[in-house]
Amino acid sequence: MAEHKKNLAILGSTGSIGTQSLEVLDLIPDKFNIIALSAGNNIELVSEQIKKYTPKIVCVKTKEAADKLKEKHINTKFVYGDSGLIEIANLPEVEMVLVAVSGKIGLKPTIQAIKNKKDIALANKETLVMAGDIVMKLAREYNVNILPVDSEHSAIFQCLSNRKEVKHLVITASGGPFRNSTLEEMKDANLDEALAHPRWKMGKKITVDSATLMNKGLEVIEAHHLFNFKYEDIKVILHPQSYIHSAVEYNDGSIIAQIGNPSMHIPIQYALTYPERIEGIETESFDFVKAAKFEFYEPDMVKFPSLALAFEAGKKGGTYPVCLNAANEEAVFAFLEKKIKFLEIYEITKKIFDEYTSIENATLEQILEEDEKIRVKTRQLISKMRAL
């Protein structure tokens, strides 16, 4: 009898994670049916993907884009916007949703998919930073697996066997392009320098976050929710080679780490095929001798204060992480548009954060309202700074 193929929806199929997940799926064609795809603005790429994968339904950002694609692909159903993503999360035949959109748009469809008892392969960290308590509670209630795609969380997921016997988590960070730069040099860092990540090729937002180490801060919050660890028990260590993707220290002093070449294909594939490990796209063995050097450093919180701010937001709880995420994202967008300088990303986020009053036990609606309020305030602050 033929093996059952899992029915998969990919949200954000045109992005860095989305395209790499399709590369993974190309090598394991017997395992999955691609039922749904979603894109934002990259209509050309999604059009090629539709030709190749013949999904039943595709979501794009706007009605115009949907109408245009419909002319070319008459057998595909097109939906658009937030409601289109929800429609995909509601499809009865979908068994797993890979959430690889960037930003807050991932949150609602993830929640909807959980409520429909679909397993989640989660790349979109904003979902857990904004609403980790709500999302994890729902996942338990609906008995749904949240399988981490983020490489550090995939590593921890693979190393955690008995949660009760673990002392702490060790999250590794490459240190980004400015690991060896001085604060003075970082002040004048331009966009190209911030986007020149030494290890990973990723979307622009997360690449800038990797340069400030805010990405690591968001990952600490993500790990807190995914694995239910106190912030005091989550350590961050710089490891420029990115061979150790993260580790877990047990009570007896044993450390179990997940090691491999830096490739997102591995965590993506493991999230998709869990609990199976199969031969897929990565066939080359890790060469210990060639790797030779594993270096480790303490993160410099003076050069990278965003990491400290993320720990603070996580520890304070309530909607502080929502504030951190929204203010940072708006500041990163402004940096990408060359409206502000690199170090101002942190300065703006910090100012908004310090003026913020958090809500305890916020509902999803309150979280989304707060998110919007903070974004407006951050954009106003940026306009004011630019007017000076």
Residues within the interface to ligand NDP (CB under 6 A)? 12, 14-18, 39-42, 61, 100-103, 105, 123-126, 150, 200, 202-203, 206, 264
Q: Which residue type is seen at 107?
A: L
Instruction: Answer with the entry of ligand NDP, Mg ion, none that 200 interacts with (C-beta below 5 to 8 A by kind).
Output: ligand NDP
CA 232 to CA 295: how far, in whole Å? 24
Taking CB atoms, the residue at the shortest distance from ligand NDP is 15
Instruction: Answer with the entry of Mg ion, ligand NDP, none that 202 interacts with (C-beta below 5 to 8 A by kind).
Output: ligand NDP
Quick note: the x/- pattern for Mg ion over 151-190, rule CB under 5 A, is xx--------------------------------------
Quick note: the x/- pattern for Mg ion over 112-151, rule CB under 5 A, is --------------------------------------xx
Question: For ligand NDP, which is the closer residue by CB, 41 or 161?
Answer: 41
Question: For Mg ion, which is the closer residue by CB, 119 or 150?
Answer: 150
Distances (CA, A) of 378 to 46, 58, 295, 323, 383: 32, 33, 38, 10, 9
CA 89 to CA 35: how far, in whole Å? 11
Instruction: Answer with the entry of Mg ion, ligand NDP, none that 56 interacts with (C-beta below 5 to 8 A by kind).
Output: none
Question: For ligand NDP, which is the closer residue by CB, 81 or 318?
Answer: 81
Nearest to residue 212, comparing CAs of 236, 199, 195, 228? 195
Nearest to residue 15, comparing CAs of 102, 109, 78? 102
CB of 338 to ligand NDP, least distance (A): 18
Question: For ligand NDP, which is the closer residue by CB, 265 or 351?
Answer: 265
Beta strands in the chain (DSSP E): 6-11, 32-38, 57-60, 77-80, 96-99, 119-122, 146-148, 166-173, 234-238, 244-250, 255-259
Is residue 285 within 8 Å of residue 299, measured between CB atoms?
Answer: no
Token output for 255: 């450390």
| Residue that the structure tokens 């100012």 belong to | 351
Question: For Mg ion, which is the closer residue by CB, 105 or 149?
Answer: 149
Q: Which residues bind Mg ion (CB under 5 A)?
A: 150-152
